[in-house]
Structure 1
Amino acid sequence: MKKTIFITVILSALLLGCKDNKNTNENTNGTEKINSVPKQNTKKINVQTTAMNNAWVNEIKLDDGSKWQANLETTQGVEKMLDLIKSSNLKTLEDYHSLASKLNEEKNFIVKECTMKGASHDNLHIFLVPLIEKIEDLSNTSALGQATMLTYRIEENLKGYYNYFQ
């Protein structure tokens, strides 16, 4: 219960705490709305949720065909998360939950150190929101197969960062 409350607080801070975050934000491609994150049912995880797919790639935009300039801390955080996944010896559900905790710490670092503004910041949110959902689902899953799939989807999400940010 404490984890769920903590994750909800962090997610709320991410979505509401950014200085330039408004319901409608201008970017180079016109007006774009940032949607709020749907509440997750932490008792039972539905494998069809947005956390299990990478639909965010249909929403994210490039900067006039170029990658967005990200702050160093964001890129370092993504690299650390990928390293955590690669270096983890995942055999038990406890291993996956431990990985989720470590990934959550790195995600919190990215959110805390965020200095991006404007359209690059808005597109970072498009990348981060499903990543946050996947990490939360990984920490709450009770099935080993689902944990394996979520970890794979988290890794896909993280690798996708480099298609849109530099």
Structure 2
Amino acid sequence: MDEINGLPAHPLLVHATVVLLPLAALALVLHVSWPAARRRLGVVTPILALIGLILVPVTTSAGEALAAGLGPVGESAPVRRHEELAEQVLPWAIVLAVLALLAWAWWRFELRERLVGASLRVPADWVLRVLAVAAAVVLTVVLFRAGDAGARATWEGVVTG
């Protein structure tokens, strides 16, 4: 998918990706840290994370097509920097999606009661919480850095202010 309604798909898909992934990260943090939010969010948390995960390679593919169509500009140092940083998003989106699915199943299907002895439930809950918060923070930072590099590659020298 290189174009959407005659426009390059990458900038359009980027907007969906940079909204959904941080939203999924926030939902995961709420899910693991606040029981009332966990009950309300339910399956929404892993669904957001999975949709965000699916968008990453689609957005990347559209970005590669856009860069190829830009000729020498697509090979410039700012574009290469953006591509390098963007490559870090997929692994963290996978981690976030796996943790979102695990967190949802952990409490929804009472996996904590089935898989962990009573004496280890609280420590296991905390391990999941720490991993979820860490993944949410890292993904958000990685996404911000990639997006910032992409914006700089696009607008630096074009917009002043």
User: Normalising by structure 2, what TM-score?
Assistant: 0.37
From the CA coordinates, give the structure whose radius of gyration is larger: 2
Q: Which one has the bigger helix percentage?
A: 2
Considering Cα pairs closer than 8 Å and 6+ residues apart, tell me whether 1 or 2 has the greater RCO.
1
